[in-house]
A and B are shown apart, each in its own frame.
Chain A
Amino acid sequence: MIKNLSKIVINNGGTISPLILPSELTHGTGLCNVALFEDKGDIIANIRHVHYSLYHSEFNQKFNCKWGVLAYLNPEDDINLRTGNYLCKINPDTLEVDTYQKIDTSKRDIKPVWTFIGLEDARVFKWDKKLYVCGVRRDVKDDGEGRMELCEVEWDGKKCIEKSRDRIEVDPHTYLEKNWMPIFDMPYHFVKWANPLEIVKVNIKDKSTKKVKEGTLDIISSKTVITKDDKLELPRGIRGSSPVVKFGDYRMCITHEVDFFHHHGMKKDAFYYHRFMVWDKDWNLVSLSKAFSFMDTQIEFCCGLLVKGDNLLISFGYQDNAAYILKMPINLLDKMEWEDDFPFNLKPKKVTWHEPLIYNKKEYNKFKFKFPGLKQIERNYSQCYQDLFTLACLNGKTDGTYLEIGAGHPFYGNNTALLSKLGWKGVSLDLQKSLIEGWKNERPNDVCLLKDATKVDYIKLCKDNGLPRYIDYLQLDIDPAPNTFKVLQKIPFDVLEFGIITYEHDFYNDENEEWRTKSRELLLNKGYTIIAANISPDKNSPYEDWWVNKKYLSKFNKNIIADIDKESLFAKDYMING
């Protein structure tokens, strides 16, 4: 399971931004569960402000408060849990809040008779040119009955007023309806249940009124219009979370699920997880990601999803206390883990992203290919020990040189960060501007250039950056595999020589099994030999070959053992004794 989607995102060209409202408005209490919507190019957000701070003690749960390890710390002179909503314009570059306005609900409010007060987890959208927020309200009946309420909002930049408030009734009667997912491109339709699918349509013309203890409610009806019978067997029930948005010819949403448990105080606690879910135009489920967390914490909740250019904008609350927008490049969907047996073409064959397999000092005795200086190394950074393999081959060289094509993050999963720390010099290339900015901040003394690696004159590049004709280490890893091969073809091996090459062919994800074969033919022909073939971050995702230059074989560490016969060579097994 991906426990920290944000980590993958920010280390692969995405960004994250905290959403903040001035504490003069909120007294510093929680901002959470943000919804998103795009209106004529503007990014609109609805931020939920709660009048409490959620106290949630995680891990060993040693520091409980008065009510245990999980409690709403509401004002002690007001036992109610109040929610207010702020409509905001989001700066498209920084993803920070530009302007904000509290939704004035005073014209429609009646005296609350239940402790959860206000419209909770409201999604924001436009249907028939009208701006709506729609969430669950539980404060009008003294048993806490909850219904989705569709509220039209008038927002002119100076004031933001709730114009209408229609409570969506259901038949047959239920106690609580919440987290219906509005379908942005189908006015008045919601995905009420995702597994199996049930879509309801509200009829805004079928209006009635209903008297309750403290006032009168405007009611509209709803009815189920689409259902599917194919329920998936999953460990937990799937519930609504983000809106449903168009995604090419498909529709996509993010769902949530809750894994309840009882903590040692015997009270209820939970882990929240989310999934990407994709349907085709006929509402057949075509792809479902495995469950994931956003920031490796227990309580998270997503209310916002937008497709904006090549990115997904995803907004979520963190423990009801903080709110964030994640800008996720769409191609990172390939790095998600997906449930099997769905036809959607974005779904990769196998898992494509793994947390780096980090070596730490405690593993020294188990490390197979010891080299001078290993004892002093606290940790490495590569995804699959490429940095340590290189050092091992070169007997712990400290003044080596490298050419890193497809640099990625300056440290996270990076193959040259450790080498640089030891004194190596080199040049790195990447195509993503945000990653280059990261290098400027985090590895200011190293050269990382914003370049399309398929269009570089490598002789000139090396000359301009003071690299010799013999370079100790070449890393080749630019997604996707055909592009990596394109770069391999472009490298003038008759002029430049390399000691070690780590080459990413992504065989696990190569339907025609083309790029591994081609790269092997080329490198064998250029005088290189494979030492470790089909390196994999797990037991079954072969994605790289590691090569050495035959000409310099005699100078390399004699302890290195070649392993070239396995279909998938788990990097940890190759480098570390079990």
Chain B
Amino acid sequence: MDRLKEYLHKYINNPHDPYINAELGEEYEKIGQGAASLSYFLRAAELLHTYDPEMAYCCVLKTWKQLHNTKRRPDYEREQLQTAVAYLPTRPEAYYHLSKIHSSREEWKTSYMYSCLGLQYTNSPPLEYDVGYPGDYMLIFQKAFTSWYIGQREESKSLWLQLSKMKNIPQEYMKIIRENSNAYKSNKESKKIVKFDMWENQIQTKKEYYIIK
């Protein structure tokens, strides 16, 4: 509460400073007050629109994140990501989340497309705030995952292999990557579905991924 009050005072003394608006939004997010956080991040995005596109984009993604945490608003979520892409199409984060939304709906082609779009913009400088983007490897992961479903199995295989050689991938993701890589090596034709449970980075919601061995 002390930090929240500190930033609230800063905001009151300068309500048109976008960076202070964003800091206040971040403090509200930390205590789960998504609606308040959304208000301040949206103000920040508006104030930054013309002169700090990366930060404005980050703030729009933060508004998406509040809706994501609130739950039960999938269309608003998707459209907020589309707003971010429309504003700054040269960053990977919104594409990644869009890819995830569509893969969770088993819309494999669309999900694959978004992972491909995102992969054009890897190695972008990190954003100021956490927007639930674990790293570029997750775009490869999404592409590996969805390419299998759209029939691009050789591509899928090579991507799992590529991922298995990458460093600094969290253990739980690496486990899935290795199992898939091994599955390809052992039995390409198996049709058994194996369910993996994964914890998303930063966001404490359980997601299920279905990978065919």
Contact = CB atoms under 8 A, between A and B. Distances in A.
A322 B33 contact: yes
B36 interface: yes
Interface size range on B against A: 35 or more
Nearest to A323: B36
A203 interface: no
Interface string A37-70: 0000000000000001111111111111110000
Contacts of A11: 13
A76 B42 contact: no
B39 A54 contact: yes
A6 interface: yes
Interface string A315-356: 000111110100000000000000000000000000000000
B46 interface: yes
B43 A53 contact: no
A55 B50 CA distance: 20
B72 A75 contact: yes
Contact of A66 (B5, B46, B71, B75): B75
B12 A16 contact: yes
Contacts of A61: 46
Given A57-B46, A322-B36, 4 more contacts: A6-B12, A57-B42, A65-B79, A321-B38
Given A16-B8, A62-B49, A55 B42 contact: yes
A232 to B, nearest CB: 30
**Chain A binding surface SS class:** loop
**Chain B binding surface SS class:** helix
Nearest to A438: B9
Interface stretch (B62-70, B97-105, B123-131, B166-174): B62-70
Contact of A295 (B12, B31, B32, B45): B12
B96 to A, nearest CB: 20
B28 A73 contact: no
Given A6-B12, A28-B69, A23 B60 contact: no
B34 A73 contact: no
A411 B12 CA distance: 13
Instruction: Name the residue among B15, B47, B60, B66 with the largest chain A CB count within 10 angstroms.
Output: B15
A27 interface: yes
Contacts of B67: 53, 73
Contact of B36 (A52, A62, A76, A318): A318
Interface string A56-96: 11111111111000000101111000000000000000001
A63 B42 contact: yes
A269 interface: no
Contacts of B38: 53, 55, 321
17 contacts: A17-B5, A22-B32, A28-B34, A28-B37, A29-B35, A30-B35, A30-B36, A31-B36, A60-B46, A61-B46, A63-B46, A63-B60, A75-B72, A76-B75, A77-B72, A297-B39, A318-B39
Interface string B1-35: 10011001101110110000000000010011111
A18 interface: yes
A297 B12 CA distance: 11
Nearest to B34: A28
A56 B42 contact: yes
